[in-house]
C-alpha cells in the first residue's frame, strides 16, 4: 500500500481482452464486447469520482477494421447503443464527450450518435472522456503531416515554424494533455498503434485481467503502482535534502 494515491491528470486505457473473456466462457466474441461496455461504465464513473481530469479509452483501432465483418458490425451497433444509453448520464455527471480517430470511416449512424453526444455534453467540465475510434497513431501522425504540408504549400506556415508545438496542435489530441499513465488490460505488453506521439513520457501499467473483469479494485491497484513510479522526463532528480547533522559527524 502507498500512503497517498497520486491521481493522474490524464489516464489512457487500452481496453483489451474482450474476445478472450468470451471465448473462455464458450460465448461469441460480441458477448465479450457487450460485457466490456459495462466495464466502460464502471471505470468512467470511478475515474470521475477520483477526480481524473482526462480519460481516453482505446475502443477501436484502424487495424480492427480488418476483423470479420460480423464483429465489426456488432461493435458499431454496440457503440451506437452505448452512446444512446449513456449520453444523458454523461451530461448529468458533467462528462464532456470527445472522439479521436478517422471518424469519416465510421458508419453514418455512429457518426450521428457521436455528434449528438458531443453536442449534449458540450458544456460539461467535470471530466473529458475521449473515445479513440477508428484510431491509429500512425494514421494520426500522417494526417497531421499532411495538414502541415498544406499549410506550408498555401503560405500559412513557414517550414522553420514546424516544431513540436505546431505538430502537436495538428494531432487529434490537440486539446488534451499527454497521458500521465497508460493502462493496458488483457495481458499483452504492447502499444498496438495507440497514441504513439503522446505516450513519449507516460508511465505504463500492464494488467493480466481481461477488460470485462477490470473494475474498481484493478483500477486502484494500477493507480497505486503509478504512485510508486519516479518520473524523471530525462532529467536528474534532485537528491532528497539531507540534514546537516545526520550521519556520524
Question: Among all residues, which ones are annotated catalytic?
Answer: 16, 64
- Report how far residue 172's alpha carbon sits from residue 197's, in angstroms, rounded to the nearest whole number: 11
Q: Is 192 in the site for ligand IPE (CB under 6 A)?
A: yes
Asked if residues 130 and 99 have their Cβ atoms less than 8 Å apart, the reply is yes
Q: Which residue blocks in the chain are alpha helix, DSSP H?
A: 18-24, 29-50, 69-92, 108-120, 137-153, 164-169, 216-228
Q: Residue 151 or 213: which CB sits closer to ligand IPE? A: 213
Which residue's beta carbon is nearest to the bound Mg ion? Answer: 16
16 binds ligand IPE (CB under 6 A): yes
- The phi, psi pair for 110, rounded to 5°, reads -70, -40
Find the shortest distance in angstroms from Cβ 14 to ligand IPE.
5
202 part of the interface to ligand IPE, by CB under 6 A: no
Residue nearest to ligand IPE (CB): 19
126 touches ligand IPE (CB under 6 A): no
Q: How many residues bind ligand IPE (CB under 6 A)?
A: 18
Distance of CA 219 to the CA centre of its chain: 14
Question: Is residue 140 close enough to count as binding Mg ion by CB under 5 A?
Answer: no
Q: 148 vs 195, which CB is nearer to ligand IPE?
A: 195
Q: DSSP alpha helices (H): ranges in 93-215?
A: 108-120, 137-153, 164-169
Q: Are 172 and 140 in contact (CB under 8 A)?
A: yes
* Residues in 1-20 at the binding interface with Mg ion, rule: CB under 5 A: 16
Residues engaged in binding ligand IPE (CB under 6 A): 14-20, 58-61, 63-64, 75, 186, 188, 190, 192
Amino acid at each position: 500500500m502507498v500512503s497517498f494515491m497520486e491521481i493522474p491528470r490524464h489516464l489512457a486505457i487500452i481496453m483489451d481482452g474482450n474476445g478472450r473473456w468470451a471465448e473462455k466462457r464458450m460465448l461469441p466474441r460480441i458477448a465479450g464486447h457487450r460485457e466490456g461496455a459495462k466495464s466502460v461504465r464502471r471505470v468512467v464513473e470511478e475515474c470521475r469520482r477520483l477526480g481524473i481530469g482526462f480519460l481516453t479509452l482505446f475502443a477501436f483501432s484502424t487495424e480492427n477494421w480488418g476483423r470479420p465483418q460480423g464483429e465489426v458490425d456488432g461493435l458499431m451497433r454496440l457503440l451506437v447503443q452505448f452512446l444512446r444509453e449513456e449520453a444523458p448520464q454523461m451530461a448529468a455527471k458533467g462528462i464532456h464527450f470527445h472522439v479521436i480517430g478517422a471518424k469519416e470511416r465510421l458508419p453514418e449512424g455512429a457518426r450521428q450518435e457521436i455528434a449528438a453526444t458531443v453536442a449534449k455534453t458540450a458544456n460539461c467540465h467535470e471530466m473529458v472522456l475521449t473515445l479513440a475510434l477508428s484510431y491509429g497513431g500512425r494514421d494520426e501522425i500522417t494526417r497531421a503531416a499532411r495538414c502541415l504540408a498544406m499549410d506550408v504549400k498555401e503560405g500559412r506556415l513557414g517550414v522553420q515554424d514546424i516544431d513540436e508545438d505546431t505538430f502537436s496542435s495538428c494531432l487529434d489530441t490537440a486539446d488534451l494533455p499527454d497521458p500521465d499513465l497508460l493502462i493496458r488490460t488483457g495481458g499483452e505488453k504492447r502499444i498496438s498503434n495507440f497514441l504513439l506521439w503522446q505516450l513519449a513520457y507516460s508511465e505504463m501499467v500492464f494488467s493480466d485481467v481481461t477488460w470485462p473483469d477490470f473494475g474498481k479494485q484493478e483500477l486502484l491497484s494500477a493507480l497505486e503502482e503509478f504512485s510508486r513510479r519516479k518520473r524523471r522526463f530525462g532529467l536528474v532528480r534532485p537528491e532528497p535534502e539531507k540534514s546537516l547533522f545526520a550521519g556520524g559527524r
